[in-house]
């Protein structure tokens, strides 16, 4: 039993230590370029009538940049195109384009982004989801960060707005997994594709390198551009980087339990859900974040003092990164107190995604069938 206690402590302490180390690299950009850089804000939109207006208003309020905003309507069946058209009539910086028919072998978002890149006029390409709200200095700070890092692709992780219980349980796992399991020192200093990561909600690319290597055509089958696009750049021998985008933008990515579940399922097999990673992470996450509490409760009368102390330390460490990620916000802190439940639900999503794949039932998303790429 003592060996198991020590194993649990190692599994809990290692991600906690990596979290603190990564915080040295995962910083908020602050420098604003003085030359008013020109940037094309590129927004793929499919049935986004509830979000697109606010997204455009926030982008158009950007300061310290010269911009154009291009929205590609991807065969929406709601008022998305009409809203954009109305805003384009009142602001010449806004343009509406219509997507071509989706070619075989392409994911809708990647094809939309690829088309948008062909319509852009400026050197900086900011790919933005329709549910993202930029801060006034967000684009300028992100460009300043890219210039400082001198890489052709950067990504910012926006501040996530979470309202429903399922959002509070699952969405914080994005930053949690990033900061606890991706060594950012390796991302900064080593070229291997495995160190590539980003957030598909907000990418900034330099046009020259994007066009040179093929941009989103490199990940045309993928639903997980946040992971796959940086890795494609690295496979082409270009470094990528990422930053804390909590002062650059905010985003409410999903609005109910069904959207949260299906949204994570559609990407899962391109992340950790594919064997053998799913087995490795199921063991690591269970030992570190699910087992310490139940073992302390169930075995409290049979544990030695040393075993109790080891498990108690592991229990505390298992909550520490998640609590620190809340920034002291009351609702997010409440969600963090149920972190073992979050981890259990997160793993359940991974296994459910595999189950759907194994029985040949792809996930539906925004009226399209999402096939898992063969090489995910």
Per-residue confidence (pLDDT) for residue 339, from 0 to 100: 97
CB distance 100 to 106 below 8 Å: no
Domain at 25-253: CATH code = 3.90.550.10
CB distance 62 to 32 below 8 Å: no
370/296 Cα distance (integer angstroms):
42
Q: How do residues 205-258 score in pLDDT, each as one tens digit? A: 999 999 999 999 999 998 899 999 999 999 999 999 999 999 999 999 999 999
Per-residue confidence (pLDDT) for residue 376, from 0 to 100: 39
Among residues 128, 154, 144, the alpha carbon closest in space to that of 70 is found at 128
289/314 Cα distance (integer angstroms):
9
CB distance 53 to 87 below 8 Å: yes
CB distance 22 to 157 below 8 Å: no
Over range 92-111, report the average pLDDT.
Answer: 94
> Is 50's pLDDT higher than 70?
yes
The residues near 112 (Cβ < 8 Å, ≥ 6 apart) are 44, 45, 46, 72, 74, 99
Per-residue confidence (pLDDT) for residue 375, from 0 to 100: 43
Over range 30-55, report the average pLDDT.
Answer: 96
Over range 6-31, report the average pLDDT.
Answer: 96
For residue 372, name the pLDDT band (cuts at 50, 70, 90).
low
55/62 Cα distance (integer angstroms):
11
66-73/94-98 β-pairing:
parallel
* 3-class state of residue 98 by DSSP: strand
Q: What is the mean pLDDT of the chain?
A: 93
83/126 Cα distance (integer angstroms):
21
> Is 82's pLDDT higher than 50?
yes
The residues near 57 (Cβ < 8 Å, ≥ 6 apart) are 87
171/346 Cα distance (integer angstroms):
9
DSSP letter, residue 269: T
CB distance 62 to 134 below 8 Å: yes
- Residue scoring higher pLDDT (347 or 271): 347
The residues near 139 (Cβ < 8 Å, ≥ 6 apart) are 39, 41, 59, 62, 64, 65, 67, 126, 248
Domain ranges across the chain: 2-21+269-365, 25-253
> Is 370's pLDDT higher than 70?
no
**Pair of tokens at residue 42:** 């590129």
For residue 271, name the pLDDT band (cuts at 50, 70, 90).
confident
Q: How do residues 293-302 score in pLDDT, each as one tens digit? A: 999 988 888 8
Over range 260-284, report the average pLDDT.
Answer: 90
- Residue scoring higher pLDDT (327 or 173): 173
**Pair of tokens at residue 148:** 């400082």
CB atoms within 10 A of CB 243: 24
Instruction: Name the least confident of 2-11, 60-69, 140-149, 364-373.
Output: 364-373
156/137 Cα distance (integer angstroms):
13
> Is 41's pLDDT higher than 80?
yes
Exposure b/e, 122-154, CB count within 10 A at least 16 = b: bebbbbbbbbbbbbebbbbbbbbbbbebebbbb
Per-residue confidence (pLDDT) for residue 367, from 0 to 100: 64
């Amino acid at each position: 039993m003592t060996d198991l206690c020590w194993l649990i402590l190692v599994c809990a302490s290692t991600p906690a230590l990596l979290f603190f180390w990564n915080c040295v690299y995962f910083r908020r950009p602050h420098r604003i370029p003085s030359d008013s850089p020109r940037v094309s804000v590129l927004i793929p939109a499919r049935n986004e009538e509830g979000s697109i207006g606010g997204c455009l208003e926030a982008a158009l309020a950007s300061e310290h940049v010269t911009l154009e905003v291009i929205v590609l309507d991807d065969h929406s069946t709601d008022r998305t195109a009409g809203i954009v058209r109305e805003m384009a009539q009142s602001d010449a910086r806004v343009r509406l384009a219509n997507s071509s028919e989706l070619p075989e072998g392409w994911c809708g978002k990647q094809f939309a982004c690829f088309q948008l890149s062909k319509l852009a006029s400026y050197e900086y390409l900011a790919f933005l989801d329709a549910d993202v709200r930029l801060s006034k200095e967000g684009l300028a700070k992100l460009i300043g960060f890219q210039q400082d890092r001198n890489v052709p692709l950067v990504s910012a992780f926006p501040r996530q707005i979470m309202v429903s219980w399922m959002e509070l349980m699952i969405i914080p796992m994005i930053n949690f997994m990033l900061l606890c399991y991706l060594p950012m020192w390796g991302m900064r200093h080593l070229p291997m594709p495995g160190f590539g990561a980003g957030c598909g909600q907000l990418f900034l690319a330099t046009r020259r390198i994007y066009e040179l290597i093929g941009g989103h055509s490199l990940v045309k089958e993928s639903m997980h551009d946040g992971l796959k696009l940086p890795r494609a750049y690295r496979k082409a021998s270009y470094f990528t980087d990422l930053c804390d985008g909590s002062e650059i933008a905010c985003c409410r990515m999903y609005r109910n339990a069904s959207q949260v579940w299906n949204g994570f399922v559609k990407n899962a097999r391109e992340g950790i859900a594919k064997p053998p990673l799913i087995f490795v992470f199921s063991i690591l996450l269970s030992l570190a974040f699910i087992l310490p509490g139940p073992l302390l409760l169930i075995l409290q009368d049979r544990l030695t003092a040393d075993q109790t102390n080891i498990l108690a330390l592991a229990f505390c460490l298992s909550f520490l990164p998640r609590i620190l990620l809340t920034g002291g916000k009351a609702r997010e802190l409440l969600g963090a107190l149920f972190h073992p439940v979050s981890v259990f639900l997160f793993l359940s999503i991974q296994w459910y995604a595999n189950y759907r794949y194994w029985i040949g039932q792809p996930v539906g998303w925004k009226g399209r069938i999402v096939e898992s790429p063969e090489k995910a």
